[in-house]
Structure 1
Amino acid sequence: METSAGFWLLAVLLLAATSFSQDQTVKYFKVGDTLQLSPQPVSEQIYSVVWKYGKNLLAEWVKDQIPLTYYSKFIGRTTLNTSTGVLEIRDMTAADTGVYSVEINNQVQSQVYKTVAVEAVPQPEVSVMPLLCNSTSESCTLSCDGDVSAAGPVEYFWKIGDGEWKQSGTNMEIINNEETQRVPTFSCRMKNRVSERETASVSRELRGLSCDGDADQNGPVEYFWKKDDGEWEQSGKKMEILNNEETACENFLLQDEEPVDSRPSLDPLITNDDDTAYRDEIQRLSDWCNYNNLTLNTKKTKEVVMDFCRTRTDPPPLSMKGDYVERVSSFKFLGTHISEDRSWSTNT
């Protein structure tokens, strides 16, 4: 009988420990915010409260015996309501992550809080997969992108046109049919326990890029396209992409298969307001001219900025050998007017 009683006592203790751990609640907070922790309700009037951070005292009060006292790093930014036992900690830091427990009227409560610091979700961006998604594709996938590694659990929502937000995954597949062809825009939203952000509406309108070069004498030519630092993908001479702020500010590179005498150009060279590649290209041109005993005539050189971002930011003036290059909206080259909006109106 003694062995049996000892066995049941051990079982009861294990059950109590299991029940205690099951009452742990995870609380997410953003650095700088105020964290509020509430004890479980008690039937009698509260006459003592003790909050602990891990195994250390955080706040303590016993009626008529111990005045309200705060400890350690929580001094000066903590408030304990002695009537309800509710604890508030201001200006939370990542170092405040941990387990908080409370004792009310000399009874340790089973409810404990595990706090986790998280960052606000980033500004999401919508990308299109595959890169060569166009009006002839059977389907395309939109991805709601952003670095959420420090944001904790994140929920994703999508909106089609002017419809309602619907919770979904990171990606949304679009089947190219009559219904989706009538939808003008798509939007995505990220949400975690402390914040939410959404993209501007992404237009499904397509715009074209062309890989041009005099390849008439080079036999069969294959064309490849690459977006930023992605992989080269084989396609045709022309490519359609979604006409939105993201694609208007990204760098699309083109490539033809060797050997071809006339190499196509790289366009655009200014991405996300970073004109480093553009100025490096100008410097290489200047160096090439110097090496071949040629002189660039700055007064006869014109600069045209082709910017399709919704919010236009003109780069600083272009300077070559101390002289500034005149920036114009259009210029005439070999009988053809080239304008900053790539329109044909100046040629008609």
Structure 2
Amino acid sequence: MKALLSKAPGGPETLSLEELPDPVAAQGQVLVAVRACAINYPDVLIIEDRYQFKPQRPFAPGGEVAGVVEAVGEGVTAFAPGDRVIGVIGHGGLAEKIVVDASRLYALPEGRSFEEGAALLLTYATTIHALIDRGRLREGHVLLVLGAAGGVGLAAIELGKAFGASVVAAVSSEAKADAARAAGADKTIVYPRAPFDKEQSKALAEQFKAAVGPHGADIIYDPVGGDYAEPALRSIAWEGRYLVVGFPAGIPRLPLNLTLLKSCDVCGVFWGAFAARDPQANQAHVEWLFRLWNEGKIAPRVTETFALADGGQAIAKVAAREAIGKLVVTI
């Protein structure tokens, strides 16, 4: 089989398409012929050895896949050859075949494409955990979403609206603002590119405050970090929740006096650890997502597809923060 491999730490240009032996499903595993693999920001980090997990090389990046079951290992009863499945696997998805623990897979609903299926779980499962468990979002809340045109950003807009929130989407271009509005955002902000000096940071804080209104943002969903974090935190409501999701713009340093003045919480969101520690709660979330998907309240937005040999280009586009929605490699 072919796989796009990381053989040494480096950027997307270091990946190489190579032949590997076909994997074999062991006990409790499923052999999946991969049809689509979605690209996410962790793929940028993992090939540079900057992610919290460092697989043994050589490895293929790609953390969420959709495909067809080719074979099942001993003890697997939930799936059979020919079944269409999706799953979050951490890495290994940029390959023609992969073995996956059966517990990590879900049936892909009829009528849904492999591209859509590959783009669902990581972004929406992260976001539903963030908004419901960490943010305690309720109907009528004001939700400010940073990086709102990326995969998790659009998921936050859709889920926020599904749960009855008023959503303010913050993005870096008018094209991204259009995508946020199409996903249901009530208001949009186009912010400048960081880095910011003190006056620019203050101006952005005022822009956030004007958009969220005098009450402030009950929940701030931040998958961006960097110089955007402090201005956003300054717009938070009394006893609001600031959700820390990711850092493509850099790891920020927040002035903790702001948390005292607003009596607010800064909450980390680590969906992978949550899913491992409480698989039943995660399973309930995934079932909830499938219902919302079936009702048309959420819909993964795949905006561009790439061949396996060009998977590095997709990772580079995510790294440059140029992607709108989800980028998917088709196999």
TM-score w.r.t. the length of structure 1 is 0.24
TM-score w.r.t. the length of structure 2 is 0.25
More strand by proportion, 1 or 2?
1
More helix by proportion, 1 or 2?
2
Point out which structure has higher relative CO (alpha carbons under 8 A, 6+ apart): 2
